[in-house]
Chain A
């Protein structure tokens, strides 16, 4: 489902936008540091904080994410469903290392901490029409 062209948008160079929703129906919009390519039907999102987004996702697993290619600035829209979390292993270690690099670049070394790699199933993916790209 995920095309190869989407991979540059998963480098974490530009924060991604994530919207979750509580069971009471309140949407919650936030930025996240990493959307990581796992395979052609799964991505991993960095879980860094025990916050409203975290609580929403445990209650309602459906989220919407916008990711951005840092070169062409092409945007992609993904509908995702939370599946499970990993707190150790190769994927977690890779994401942890990348998050440390992102934190260092953005002056957030004391704040960003990877608690888990949250694995999501990709329900849909498409390129955004927001920008007029030749």
Chain B
């Protein structure tokens, strides 16, 4: 179960960074572009471009430990989602459509701050993989007194 507020946040114009680690506990990170949260099932699917995704996909195959930070670049509101990997597959047309919608929202949202299309249009997003993990924990990462607190998933 993912609270509605977190589902809504995941579907917003947030910056998305996906973390994983290898068998020697060496971590790595990569961008994710777009997310699909299933609140009832408690899963989150994110789209990770293959161009910098190889280490992440290998790590998930090796040990399945996933972390994802979603950050609102304007307000600094941020959350970290964690849980076990459920599956990775090639993106289909519907996924790329979600990704396009996400990018249009992100660009419009950050354009007034000087981080518009000239940045986001430069990323190589295709081919891309859809990575799904079960959300077991969500932590507040917004800088401030509540940072690090776990959100009640009900």
Contact = CB atoms under 8 A, between A and B. Distances in A.
Given A21-B21, A49-B147, A29 B51 contact: no
B20 A27 contact: yes
Interface stretch (A1-9, A36-44, A59-67, A114-122): A59-67
A18 B69 CA distance: 10
B25 A60 contact: yes
Given A19-B19, A111-B144, A132-B124, A64 B25 contact: no
B47 interface: no
Given A19-B29, A28-B19, A52-B148, A132 B65 contact: no
B127 interface: no
A51 B65 contact: no
A20 B147 CA distance: 17
Interface string B134-145: 000001010110
B26 A62 contact: yes
A23 interface: yes
Interface in B92-141: 118-119, 122-124, 139, 141
A27 B66 contact: yes
Nearest to B145: A111
Nearest to A20: B27
Contacts of A132: 122-124
Contact of B17 (A17, A49, A106, A108): A17
B143 A63 contact: no
B67 A28 contact: yes
B33 to A, nearest CB: 10
A18 B17 CA distance: 9
21 contacts: A17-B17, A17-B29, A19-B19, A26-B65, A29-B17, A29-B67, A29-B80, A30-B80, A31-B17, A31-B69, A31-B71, A31-B78, A49-B148, A51-B148, A52-B148, A64-B27, A64-B29, A73-B118, A108-B143, A129-B51, A130-B52
Given A128-B52, A131-B123, 11 more contacts: A19-B27, A25-B65, A27-B20, A28-B19, A49-B147, A60-B25, A79-B26, A111-B144, A130-B49, A130-B124, A132-B123
